[in-house]
Amino acid sequence: MSSREKVASRYDIWSPFYDSVDNFPLISRPQKVWRGRSVDMLELEGHELVLDVGTGSGYILPDIARRLNEGRVVGTDISEGMLRKAKERAERENVLDRVSTVKDDIENSRFGSEHFDRIITNFTFTTIPDPEKAIKECHRVLKNGGSMVILDTGKPEGFLSRFFFYPMMVSAKIFGRTHMDRDIIGLMEKRFHVAYREYYMQGMVYLVNCVKK
Ligand SMILES: C[S@@+](CC[C@H](N)C(=O)[O-])C[C@H]1O[C@@H](n2cnc3c(N)ncnc32)[C@H](O)[C@@H]1O
């Protein structure tokens, strides 16, 4: 099994329970705020074609769809289980007319070059087997001058946060094939101009807005 297939099957298994972890009391509130901020950062006017890479259960799809009148949001993932959940959410929230869910591997995307006006991705670049390849593909499918918003986890600064971070990092690697310690911002800087950044929990979570170079 390739690492891509292992990630897909891990998330297929997780898909029925994924939202219950997200709704866990201690993390649900900050997650909601951070995700909302990430969508704000797209600065949508309403006509854009937006790509949500690794949409998972489609948490941010309704929020994006409601900001679009002529535009559309495409949520992609390699896990069919997660994509089913994303589609169910869009149906439940009555936004399916502005939402598509598509099986796509961002390391080798099916979309044409310069196709999307904006790209957004929440907590996905730490799970993609080859993030450098994924960033290259995001750069390719994004229109010139387009922007990409990333919300994800990184290594925190403070001693106390690191104390909590390392056990979380190890369990995320084992159970979620997630690499919380990856330097995604560093990789982004090779192809994008990192125009704006925000850090939460001493850097354990970051939000960046990057413009295509
Ligand atoms: C931690 S989940 C995040 C889901 C969602 N964005 C959220 O915020 O809840 C990571 C998602 O990325 C997807 N993923 C991992 N590698 C991928 C790839 N190469 N292409 C597309 N999606 C991928 C996984 O299947 C999973 O659904």
Residues 6+ apart with CB under 8 A from 122: 35, 38, 52, 54, 56, 59, 60, 151, 152
Which CATH number characterizes residue 67's domain? 3.40.50.150
Q: How far is the CA of 172 from the centre of ligand 1 (A)?
A: 13
- pLDDT recorded at residue 26: 72
Taking the CA of residue 35 as reference, the ligand 1 atom at the shortest distance is: 8
Q: What is the pLDDT of residues 45-90, one digit of tens each?
A: 999 999 999 999 999 999 999 999 999 999 999 999 999 999 999 9
- pLDDT recorded at residue 198: 96
Q: How far is the CA of 55 from the centre of ligand 1 (A)?
A: 6
Please determine, for residue 172, whether its predicted confidence score (pLDDT) is greater than 90.
Answer: no
| Bridge partner residues of 205 (DSSP) | 153, 200
Taking the CA of residue 105 as reference, the ligand 1 atom at the shortest distance is: 20
Please determine, for residue 96, whether its predicted confidence score (pLDDT) is greater than 80.
Answer: yes
Domain that includes residue 23, residue range: 3-212
Inter-axis angle of helices 3-14 and 80-92, nearest 10: 40
Q: Name the residue type at position 73.
A: V
- Cβ-in-10-Å burial (0-12, 13-18, 19+) of 20 comes to exposed
Taking the CA of residue 52 as reference, the ligand 1 atom at the shortest distance is: 6
**What CA–CA distance (Å, rounded) separates 82 from 10?**
10
128 lines ligand 1 (CB under 6 A): yes
Structural domains counted in the chain:
1
Q: What is the pLDDT of residues 8-47, one digit of tens each?
A: 999 999 999 999 877 777 778 899 999 999 999 999 999 9
54 lines ligand 1 (CB under 6 A): yes
pTM of the model: 0.95
